[in-house]
A and B are shown apart, each in its own frame.
Chain A
Amino acid sequence: MATTPRSGGASGTGTAQRPNGTSQNKSCQFKLVLLGESAVGKSSLVLRFVKGQFHEYQESTIGAAFLTQTICIEDTVVKFEIWDTAGQERYHSLAPMYYRGAQAAIVVYDIQNQDSFQRAKTWVKELHKQASPNIVIALAGNKADLSNIRVVEFDEAKQYAEENGLLFMETSAKTGMNVNDIFLAIAKKLPKNDGANNQGTSIRPTGTETNRPTNNCCK
């Protein structure tokens, strides 16, 4: 049975309370990245998970946004460091900066938008090709509260997820359906022992060969 996650007091500074107060609990820290087409609800999904809020008119994300949330699962405290990337095409070059070095990724699509599902498939392929081999990928079909006008069938997405070894849930940031569940499922699937070794690793977006060194020296 998973414990209900508690929301932190401020964005980015969330700290969960230890349920039993002992210092023997393990503590894990994971980097998680959200990918998907623009306007599919990535930011709403994270906002619901971290703050329990939903904004009907969510602004487009610029570049990437950072949030943290800590949950308790069994006897382990799991801290997610979440990078919510922008889905617009102009920001596509930023994505590798964030998913490289990430332990988990949620690829989001809109069940009303077939193109977003196709885009999600493209993201999955890119992750398999360039991301960490052990990355845990979850496929999220958002806006499930509008299932009466769905375009992407549940079975089609589920079959695709099973074929590619993905976690799959249809979610609704508006109603909160399966929002916590998908993060819990990821937490359960992540290796805890290996996670403990990640306690001291860098949690910044990792550089790649295309990353330009920031040279601030005046010449």
Chain B
Amino acid sequence: MSELKAPSLQSLLESERGSTDSLLAESLQLDFEDLDDAEFAIPPTDVLPTLEAVLSEFEADSDVASEFGMPVPHATPTPSIGEDSTIRTDGRGGGGSIMRYTLLHGISAQLSSAAERVNAGAASSCAVAAFIAIGTSHGHILNFDVTQTLRWAHQDKHGQGAVASLAFNADSTRLLAGFSRGLVAMLDTHTGDVLRELFDVITPNTGVLHVKWTSRSSLALCADAGGSVWSLSFTRKLGIRGCQSRCLFSGARGEVCAVEPLIMDSQGRHELDQYCIVALATLSKYFIVTVRPRLRVIKYHVLQGPPDCLPLLAWHLVLIQAADTSRSVDPVIVVGRGNQLFFHQLFVSNGRITLLYLRHVQLQGSLLSAHWLGPKCVASLDTAEILHLVDVRSSKELECMDMANAGLVYGSAQFKGLATGGNVSPAFALAGSNACYNSVVSRGTQLYVLGARSLHIIGVRTWSERISFLVKHHRWQEACQLALDGYIASVDRPRKRAQAKERIIMLFKEYIANSARAPEYCLGAIVNCLITVGELDLLWTQLWEKLHNSSTELFLQHISEHIEKETIHSVNPVISQALVDYWLEHSPAKLEQLILKLDWMCLDLNQVLKAVKKHRLFRAQIYLNTQALNDYTAALTELLPLVTPDETDLGNCLLVYVSSCLAGREYPSGEIPVELVHQVKHDVLRCLTSQHSKENAGDELPYPYLRALLKFDTRETLNVISLAFQEREFSNELGISHRKRIINLLLEIMSPENATWAEIGCLLNFIAQQISMQCLPRDRQLLERVLSHLAQEEIANESSRQHSERENAWHELLSSNCLAEISSDEEQLRLAEKAKCYCVVEYLLEKLERYDTILDSYIRNEARHETMFAYMERHVASPKRSIFRQLKRNLRELLTINAKETTRLLSLHYPEKINELLDNLRREENLLYLFLKCLNDRKSELEASQMELLLELYCKMESSSTVEEFLRSNSGYRLENAIAIAESHHLNRSVIYLYEKQESYAKAFELSMELLKSAAGEEAAKEAQTISALLARSVETLPAQELERCWFALLQYILPHQELQSITKSLLHEASQHIDLHNLVQLIMNTHNVSTSFGDIKDLLMGMLDSSRHKTEALRASAGALCQDLHLKFVKRYQHAHRGLWVTTTKCSMCRQRLYDHSQVLIFGGCGHGIHEQCMEESETQFEECPRCFTAIPDQSIGLPRPNKNLISISSSLEMGALQLKAPPRRFI
């Protein structure tokens, strides 16, 4: 055997991707030649007959397989073994119904036996295919078949340590075994014979971590503890079995922890079948690599995670719905590290293999393993040995199961290289502490978990199995919900839908079998299931017969809910009878609702019709008569005699029913079948208009049914007939005759002996409307009769609404020109005026263009008053409308109706006519007053005479306070005239106001005094206070003397009156503000019969004293201040007079002449220079500084009258610096 090592995978990464190397090409060529000569052993022909039968029993239904057309992969058969109660199932997610746990007792027992008897050691690895192979820590390999029977056992003779990894090939004919000391052995699956023993195919002195078969039958991969990956090509030349190994990836550049070839098994139906694809993962990256046809890296990604966690890889074929609504079945790889799972899709796009990221799932704890269980779920085992089932599509955890009791086997020894001396990297050893690559294996929808002495299976139950599980545990509610979910989800797949339906029926039978123990709250769920799948017969027969009293009621309530929701429309007659009895007892109204929704053919008509009559369920009675008996007149013949004015519900119900029938509609909803519409209309109308009832009592009046409706509600009955007249049956010539007949019937029924005038009015208005709408021919006799009614001058008890309807009907007839042949417009006009139908009058006047009197009809029609003003406003500019003339003629009425609006019109459009109109109203003071008042309210700026006229009217018609208010708020009048008007009406307060406005305070005072003298009691007190306020306001106008006189007059009147004692104090106080106090006190003392006491004037006197004292103190203070001021000035002048003289020059600073011997000399302080007073006066300036030396002159300067020569001379000598014997005078500052 020749071994030719190809370039390592790592070296390809460093070079350009996809390039070909001569050495690689040579290697590929060599492999191709070898393949031609390869021959494999013939498979054994002694296949057990029961094998196929056993396998088919556990065939799982895979959506992706059936969708893709692939054969369903055979799951490992599971014998029926009871559950191990020691395994705890968490209640989350599917509530324990999704994952199924089974312990393989047969295999477990034999593992224990092998360990005990032949010292095989604990289990170390396993592989599952058509057989189950388990390797042990002492190099034993046990192979079991599907019946858990040991087929053969193999023991390593070379001391290669534990069995690290096992792998079956695709057809389960070969078993590869990798040992912890580096041996790779190939065994015949059926006989256990060793076919190959390969000692040197991996890195020397390293153990095996993984052995994997690829999609090629002669190619396998092997990963060693050094992190390298080797390809093993099995050869057979001249009958001699051999193997060529080649390093694909060197551990020196990254230690590969996981290897996962992609096994398509699609038999050439997928584009990826031509490739041999492998996924590899190191502690930091993962790679997708093609090994065939040539070695190439497709893609790699960084894969980070905790250092004590290993990467995880798993492939599966998944049906993927792309965004463009295309569907494909492609391999999907799940890559895990830590608590992260990543999903990538592998597909061919434009001839290139592409890896597409799909989604990411994050779990709670760090992961030990990740395996597909079917195309939709991934099972993950975390470091706490809890198995999580994750739904890939929704990224949700469906269920979890605690596997702690399973005794999970870890491959830590292999990762630590214990068998080869621990020659592994520390990172590898650390990460490998949780390695269980070869002790957790998946196949199909089952996960195999290897314990030290046991083998456990966790499978995903199918939908049907889950239902069975829930049923077994009496979880009926969940079972029903799950069953319905499956049925609803299969809405687009008839075959699956049928299967789901069968399963639901089976569930129902299980429920029936356990109904004695089933809780009643699940009854609704069962009912819902059967209704949804349409198996109603099972409800009515098998389920109903099993129920007891209380559950019977519950059942009926559930059925009723479904009837109301219209999920079912019919029930078994037995059920319908029970429903009727039940709801008659509990709620007849609800029974009626149910009857209206049920198909009548499932009802016991005898029972139901008697019940609805007894309980007066009118709608149900109508429904059953029409639907079941096809009798649309029974409702009328049976129920109309029951109608009374108090039976509003029944009456309205029948009105709606008749209207519906005559319109071709079902009651209460739907449509009458087309072929029956005509007959139904005919029957109903004929019944309604029949002359005698069925009973035909001797004393009944003719046409009892129509009469009953009219008596119940004449208006609405006529509305129904009006709607019926619009139907097709009344449109042709025969229909017209039908109309006439009905009209005649109505007229006959509603004669004055049998109907009120209000009802007759409704009828005649109805007829008028029919004629005006061209629904009836113009029958002269009928029109005359109608017109005679419409034109009645007096109708007893006619309401305004009825009168308005009469007018409207008449108006409609006129508008449609139906009355032209009956009488002329003039006659109509006369009739309308007599009948007070002013709308008609208005219409006719408009038609006849008699505009000069049209306003009269508006005025008489109260309902048209508002429209009247709009009419006048609209036509104010049209001469032929004669608006002003009519306004003038009807001014009195218009002002009475709406003075404000009338005034607005006139002032806006006819301001020049106002005086004329005012003259017309001279003799009608009320209207004149109203007119003027409205004009004034509109701020129309009345003339002074008009304003005075308005004032006159105010005085006549309003109260004095209103007049006073008017005077205060207006100012357009002349004061003299206003005073005269007010005086003529003796409105003294208004006169006083006007006097004050005129500033004639004296007159106002005199008049007020007269009012005071005529008043008494409290009124007098108020009057006095008013006068006091008046005098206070007149301070600035009245002379002081006159003001004092007025105050004295007021006080002289008040003081003697005992009843005014309460206000004396306040008046005295007020008076003291304006008049001399001495005179006031004297007045009080001199007045005879003073009624006030000392207490009343005490404050006054004290006020006088205080005032006097204040003035005295003020005078004294003023005098003191003045004296002090004089004293200070005197002191300053005295000091100034005694100040020393300092004269520094003998010449005037201005004229340069000598200073002495002049009359007056001014000496400047500070510098000592002097100036003649005359020179000062001549300069006409005020010196602020010395004209000679420009020194600032202080405030003080001294004048010397006639200074003598000696003084000046002595002073000037000092200037020359001569020393004098006398003391010099002080220099004053």
Q: A interface vs B, CB < 8 Å?
A: 11-13, 15, 59, 61-66, 68, 81, 84, 86, 90-91, 93-94, 97, 200, 202-205, 207, 212, 214-219
Question: Within the complex, what minimum Cβ distance (angstroms) separates A71 from chain B?
Answer: 17
Question: Within the complex, what minimum Cβ distance (angstroms) separates B130 from chain A?
Answer: 43
B51 on the A face (CB < 8 A): no
Q: How far is the CA of A93 from the CA of B576 in the complex (A)?
A: 22
Query: Quick one: given A63-B628, A66-B577, A215-B670, are A15 and B545 in contact (CB under 8 Å)?
Result: yes
Complex contacts, B578 vs chain A, CB 8 Å: 12-13
Q: How far is the CA of A217 from the CA of B666 in the complex (A)?
A: 11
Interface of B, secondary structure class, is helix
B205 on the A face (CB < 8 A): no
Complex contacts, A215 vs chain B, CB 8 Å: 666, 670-671
User: Is the beta-carbon distance between B545 and A12 smaller than 8 angstroms?
Assistant: no
User: Is the beta-carbon distance between A66 and B601 smaller than 8 angstroms?
Assistant: no
Digit string of B536-547 for contact with A (CB within 8 Å is 1, else 0)?
010000000100
B627 on the A face (CB < 8 A): yes
Q: How far is the CA of A205 from the CA of B599 in the complex (A)?
A: 11
User: Is the beta-carbon distance between A91 and B629 smaller than 8 angstroms?
Assistant: yes
**Residues B552-595 near A (CB distance < 8 A):** 566, 569-570, 572-574, 576-578
User: Is the beta-carbon distance between B606 and A204 smaller than 8 angstroms?
Assistant: no
B600 on the A face (CB < 8 A): yes
Closest to A62 in B: B609
Complex contacts, B984 vs chain A, CB 8 Å: none
B605 on the A face (CB < 8 A): yes
Closest to B575 in A: A12
Q: How far is the CA of A204 from the CA of B604 in the complex (A)?
A: 11
User: Is the beta-carbon distance between B629 and A218 smaller than 8 angstroms?
Assistant: no
Closest to B574 in A: A12
User: Is the beta-carbon distance between A217 and B670 smaller than 8 angstroms?
Assistant: yes
Digit string of B885-924 for contact with A (CB within 8 Å is 1, else 0)?
0000000000000000000000000000000000000000
> Given B566, B577, B631, B666, which contacts A12 in the complex, CB threshold below 8 Å?
B577
**Most chain A beta-carbon contacts within 10 A, residue among B573, B600, B676:** B573
B602 on the A face (CB < 8 A): yes
Query: Quick one: given A64-B604, A204-B601, are A93 and B573 in contact (CB under 8 Å)?
Result: no
Question: Within the complex, what minimum Cβ distance (angstroms) separates A110 from chain B?
Answer: 20
Query: Quick one: given A62-B609, A84-B606, A215-B670, are A205 and B630 in contact (CB under 8 Å)?
Result: no
Complex contacts, B599 vs chain A, CB 8 Å: 214
Interface of A, secondary structure class, is loop
User: Is the beta-carbon distance between A13 and B597 smaller than 8 angstroms?
Assistant: no
Q: How many A-B residue pairs have CB under 8 A?
A: 85
Question: Within the complex, what minimum Cβ distance (angstroms) separates A12 from chain B?
Answer: 4
User: Is the beta-carbon distance between B570 and A204 smaller than 8 angstroms?
Assistant: yes
B607 on the A face (CB < 8 A): yes
Closest to B665 in A: A219
User: Is the beta-carbon distance between A204 and B597 smaller than 8 angstroms?
Assistant: no
> Given A63, A200, A202, A204, which contacts B609 in the complex, CB threshold below 8 Å?
A63
**Most chain B beta-carbon contacts within 10 A, residue among A86, A200, A212:** A212
Question: Within the complex, what minimum Cβ distance (angstroms) separates A99 from chain B?
Answer: 13
Question: Within the complex, what minimum Cβ distance (angstroms) separates B573 from chain A?
Answer: 4
Question: Within the complex, what minimum Cβ distance (angstroms) separates B550 from chain A?
Answer: 15
Closest to A14 in B: B574
Question: Within the complex, what minimum Cβ distance (angstroms) separates B909 from chain A?
Answer: 57
Q: How far is the CA of A141 from the CA of B609 in the complex (A)?
A: 28
Complex contacts, B666 vs chain A, CB 8 Å: 215
User: Is the beta-carbon distance between B670 and A203 smaller than 8 angstroms?
Assistant: no
User: Is the beta-carbon distance between A94 and B628 smaller than 8 angstroms?
Assistant: yes
> Given A65, A202, A205, which contacts B537 in the complex, CB threshold below 8 Å?
A202
Complex contacts, A97 vs chain B, CB 8 Å: 601
B673 on the A face (CB < 8 A): yes
Digit string of B788-815 for contact with A (CB within 8 Å is 1, else 0)?
0000000000000000000000000000
Digit string of B598-622 for contact with A (CB within 8 Å is 1, else 0)?
0111101111011000000000000
B669 on the A face (CB < 8 A): yes
Closest to B627 in A: A214
User: Is the beta-carbon distance between A12 and B671 smaller than 8 angstroms?
Assistant: no
User: Is the beta-carbon distance between B566 and A64 smaller than 8 angstroms?
Assistant: no
Complex contacts, A203 vs chain B, CB 8 Å: 572-573
Complex contacts, B610 vs chain A, CB 8 Å: 59, 62
> Given B570, B596, B601, B606, which contacts A65 in the complex, CB threshold below 8 Å?
B606
Query: Quick one: given A203-B573, A216-B569, are A65 and B669 in contact (CB under 8 Å)?
Result: no
User: Is the beta-carbon distance between B673 and A65 smaller than 8 angstroms?
Assistant: no
Question: Within the complex, what minimum Cβ distance (angstroms) separates A39 from chain B?
Answer: 15
Complex contacts, A91 vs chain B, CB 8 Å: 629
Closest to B673 in A: A212
User: Is the beta-carbon distance between A66 and B628 smaller than 8 angstroms?
Assistant: no
User: Is the beta-carbon distance between A90 and B670 smaller than 8 angstroms?
Assistant: no
Question: Within the complex, what minimum Cβ distance (angstroms) separates A53 from chain B?
Answer: 16
Question: Within the complex, what minimum Cβ distance (angstroms) separates B593 from chain A?
Answer: 11
User: Is the beta-carbon distance between B604 and A65 smaller than 8 angstroms?
Assistant: yes
What are the 5 closest A-B residue pairs judged by CB atoms, nearest first?
A: A63-B605, A65-B606, A66-B573, A66-B604, A12-B577
User: Is the beta-carbon distance between B631 and A63 smaller than 8 angstroms?
Assistant: no
Q: How far is the CA of A39 from the CA of B607 in the complex (A)?
A: 18
Complex contacts, A65 vs chain B, CB 8 Å: 604-607
Q: How far is the CA of A217 from the CA of B576 in the complex (A)?
A: 22
Complex contacts, B607 vs chain A, CB 8 Å: 65-66
**Most chain A beta-carbon contacts within 10 A, residue among B570, B629, B673, B676:** B629
Query: Quick one: given A93-B630, A203-B573, are A219 and B670 in contact (CB under 8 Å)?
Result: yes
Closest to B572 in A: A203
User: Is the beta-carbon distance between A219 and B574 smaller than 8 angstroms?
Assistant: no
User: Is the beta-carbon distance between A66 and B671 smaller than 8 angstroms?
Assistant: no
Complex contacts, A212 vs chain B, CB 8 Å: 627, 673, 676
Question: Within the complex, what minimum Cβ distance (angstroms) separates A42 from chain B?
Answer: 11
20 contacts between A and B (CB under 8 A): A12-B573, A12-B577, A13-B577, A62-B609, A63-B606, A64-B604, A65-B605, A65-B606, A81-B573, A90-B629, A90-B631, A91-B629, A200-B537, A203-B573, A204-B602, A207-B601, A214-B670, A215-B671, A216-B597, A217-B669
Question: Within the complex, what minimum Cβ distance (angstroms) separates B630 from chain A?
Answer: 6
Complex contacts, A214 vs chain B, CB 8 Å: 569, 599-600, 627, 670
**Most chain A beta-carbon contacts within 10 A, residue among B566, B596, B601, B628:** B601
Question: Within the complex, what minimum Cβ distance (angstroms) separates A120 from chain B?
Answer: 21
Supply 18 further A-B pairs (C-beta < 8 A) apart from A15-B545, A68-B574.
A12-B573, A12-B574, A12-B578, A13-B574, A13-B578, A62-B605, A63-B606, A63-B609, A63-B628, A81-B573, A86-B605, A86-B606, A91-B629, A94-B605, A207-B601, A215-B671, A218-B669, A218-B670
**Most chain B beta-carbon contacts within 10 A, residue among A13, A59, A217, A219:** A13
Complex contacts, B569 vs chain A, CB 8 Å: 214, 216
> Given B577, B606, B669, which contacts A64 in the complex, CB threshold below 8 Å?
B606
Question: Within the complex, what minimum Cβ distance (angstroms) separates A55 from chain B?
Answer: 14
User: Is the beta-carbon distance between A62 and B606 smaller than 8 angstroms?
Assistant: yes
> Given B574, B631, B670, B676, which contacts A66 in the complex, CB threshold below 8 Å?
B574
Complex contacts, A64 vs chain B, CB 8 Å: 604-606
Question: Within the complex, what minimum Cβ distance (angstroms) separates A204 from chain B?
Answer: 5
Complex contacts, B570 vs chain A, CB 8 Å: 204
Q: How far is the CA of A35 from the CA of B778 in the complex (A)?
A: 55
**Residues B1023-1072 near A (CB distance < 8 A):** none
Question: Within the complex, what minimum Cβ distance (angstroms) separates B606 from chain A?
Answer: 4
Complex contacts, A59 vs chain B, CB 8 Å: 610
Complex contacts, B671 vs chain A, CB 8 Å: 215, 219
Closest to A64 in B: B605
Question: Within the complex, what minimum Cβ distance (angstroms) separates B537 from chain A?
Answer: 6
Q: How far is the CA of A123 from the CA of B600 in the complex (A)?
A: 24
Q: How far is the CA of A161 from the CA of B983 in the complex (A)?
A: 126
**Residues B621-637 near A (CB distance < 8 A):** 624, 627-631, 634
Q: How far is the CA of A61 from the CA of B545 in the complex (A)?
A: 28
Complex contacts, A204 vs chain B, CB 8 Å: 570, 572-573, 601-602
Closest to A97 in B: B601
Q: How far is the CA of A65 from the CA of B577 in the complex (A)?
A: 10
Digit string of B685-714 for contact with A (CB within 8 Å is 1, else 0)?
000000000000000000000000000000
Question: Within the complex, what minimum Cβ distance (angstroms) separates B1041 from chain A?
Answer: 100
